[in-house]
Amino acid sequence: MSSTVNEAGTANVADVIVVGGGNAAFTAAHAAAERGRKVLLLEKAPQELFGGNSYYTAGATRIAHDGIEDLRDFIEFDERHAVTEVPPYSAAEYAADLVKVTEGRNDPELTEVMVNEAAPGLRWLQSLGLKYRLMYERQAYEREDGSYLFWGGLHVGNVGGGEGLMADHVAVAQKLGTEVRYGQDVLDLLLEDGTVKGVKVRTADGSVQELRAESVILGAGGFESNPEMRREHLGEGWENAKIRGTAFNKGEMIIAGLAAGAAKGGDWGTCHSVQWDAFTAKNESNRELTNRLTRQSYPLGIIVNNRGERFLDEGEDFRNYTYAKYGKVILQQPDSVAYQIFDATLRPMLRTEEYDMPGISVETADTIEELAVKIGVDAASLSRTITTYNDSIDVSKTFDPTVKDGRAADTVPPKSNWGHPLVTAPYYAYGVTCGITFTFGGLKSDTHGRVLDTSGEHLTGLYVCGEMLGGLFSSNYPGGSGLAAGVVFGRRAGTLA
């Protein structure tokens, strides 16, 4: 990469430096490179561990659309399309879902931009070389007539999941001439007269360099991989959560941004956390199993703690709207462990990619009492819980997992939908704990990714995107909106930088 000389006579290594290596960072790099900017992307991880948290996702991306006909122009062909129903999902519904799950704590201006620009952002990325498809295995149920119905507002994902997403991003970066350096531990920002002029980085050989550019875009993730910061900001016990994604998101660049004068943005006291395989070996940052360690068919059955007691409403809403908050609830249970319970009737409906994975934490038995013994739960307590649950189900309503069916279990706590009696052997128990995905607190910016200082002014030369951008999420989040935010605000930052 050739160098330019700035006003101080010091060589710039690039016009734009992007710090981070996930979906948002690469999207920002593409947007800048398309404008003719010389872009240098610095990824902390070694090349064999590239991809940030995005690599560990299923690639699901929430966008507004008008149904399957509106999606055909950029999704891969599938012969099932002819018998598939994809309900329209408007920008207004998208915004309303964000308000609902965050209890109104989402930034309205950031929200408006995201819900309107997520779909155009995916079409733009597809034009560059990324590949998208309908997510049948995760977001649709096959009906008795052989047709498919999608549900929950989340319908589109990357071909090849997170692995495919990041492989495509790297290929596009290469095509656009972006230089990508791996093993780059960015330590600090270079700040001169209130303007960000570059970064200080420790390279793979241990040497420290100052790399200068006209603009710096931060897309280096949150602090979920830093147990000390988790405990400080999320609370006691969070140091014990399992890291779902990359082990390299330790919050250094958030700290560097704050030290440079940036204001805090978003909710620093909450995060995205899910039900995660509790006992499988290597259940953190597992690049082979990635997202398959989640356990997300829980709305069909019940969840009990190790006292044999239910403690949440498994059927409160579609999984897309509850899964990111229930990890926290599991963490608060005794020993931070719980068990998802299903019977033989429900078992075929569980997501194959998650519940049939190798080495899964599962126990099976022909009676509830035997199952209790296998998972170390008091048999009388578990039997009482399941009997009470079974007897309280409103059997006048039809069980239908494709809609919120209102088939409630009138017990404490209630189960609002998808009540199904657990009466058919064998019975299954899947051990789960809390898996942390990313933290919701970060840096404050305007709607173009320009970082704001504590007085509300732009911190010249500094941009932010992805999980470092605070303000969109609090306590909970609608599934697929994280990758959508990375696309929208990464593109916006790269368009200006």
Q: What is the CATH number of the domain that holds 304?
A: 3.90.700.10
Asked if 311 and 426 sit in the same domain, the reply is yes
CB atoms within 10 A of CB 421: 18
pTM: 0.95
**CA of 270: how far to CAs of 29, 105, 256, 488, in Å?**
29, 12, 21, 22
Under 8 Å between Cβ of 480 and 60? yes
Q: Which amino acid is at 6?
A: N
Angle of helix 23-34 relative to helix 161-176, nearest 10 degrees, comes to 20
Asked if 202 and 292 sit in the same domain, the reply is no
Asked if 180 and 325 sit in the same domain, the reply is no
Residues 469, 475, 476, CA angle at the centre, nearest 5°? 85
- The verdict on residue 243 lying in a domain is no
Asked if 329 and 182 sit in the same domain, the reply is no
- The verdict on residue 30 lying in a domain is yes
pLDDT at 357: 87
> Rounded to an integer, what distance in angstroms lies between the CA atom of residue 189 and that of residue 212?
10
Q: Mean pLDDT for the chain?
A: 96
Asked if 315 and 421 sit in the same domain, the reply is yes
- The verdict on residue 255 lying in a domain is no
pLDDT at 1: 39
Q: Are strands 264-265 and 242-243 parallel, antiparallel or unpaired?
A: unpaired
Total domains present in the chain:
2
Asked if 74 and 193 sit in the same domain, the reply is yes
Each residue's pLDDT, cut to its tens digit, for the chain (497 residues) gives 344 555 555 789 999 999 999 999 999 999 999 999 999 999 999 999 999 999 999 999 999 999 999 999 999 999 999 999 999 999 999 999 999 999 999 999 999 999 999 999 999 999 999 999 999 999 999 999 999 999 999 999 999 999 999 999 999 999 999 999 999 999 999 999 999 999 999 987 889 999 999 999 999 999 999 999 999 999 999 999 999 999 999 999 999 999 999 999 999 999 999 999 999 999 999 999 999 999 999 999 999 999 999 999 999 999 999 999 999 999 999 999 999 999 999 999 999 999 998 889 999 999 999 999 999 999 999 999 999 999 999 999 999 999 999 999 999 999 999 999 999 999 999 999 999 999 999 999 999 999 999 999 999 999 999 999 999 999 999 999 999 999 999 999 999 99
Place of tokens 């009997």: 387
Asked if 123 and 138 sit in the same domain, the reply is yes
- The verdict on residue 249 lying in a domain is no
CB atoms within 10 A of CB 352: 11
- CA dihedral (366, 367, 370, 376) in degrees, to 10, reads 110
Structural domain boundaries, residue 19: 10-222+440-496
Out of 417, 435, 453, a domain closes at 435
Asked if 454 and 381 sit in the same domain, the reply is no
Q: If you write DSSP's letter for every residue of 121-163 in order, what string do you get? A: HHHHHHHHT--EEE-HHHHEEE-TTS-EEE-TT--EEETTHHH
Q: Are strands 458-464 and 215-218 parallel, antiparallel or unpaired?
A: parallel
Asked if 277 and 151 sit in the same domain, the reply is no
Asked if 355 and 453 sit in the same domain, the reply is no
Out of 435, 465, 486, a domain closes at 435
What is the CATH number for 192?
3.50.50.60
Q: What is the pLDDT of residues 74-112, one digit of tens each?
A: 999 999 999 999 999 999 999 999 999 999 999 999 999
> Rounded to an integer, what distance in angstroms lies between the CA atom of residue 115 and that of residue 104?
15
Angle of helix 108-128 relative to helix 91-101, nearest 10 degrees, comes to 130
- The verdict on residue 50 lying in a domain is yes
- The verdict on residue 234 lying in a domain is no
- The verdict on residue 237 lying in a domain is no
Asked if 50 and 136 sit in the same domain, the reply is yes
Asked if 202 and 277 sit in the same domain, the reply is no
- The verdict on residue 244 lying in a domain is no
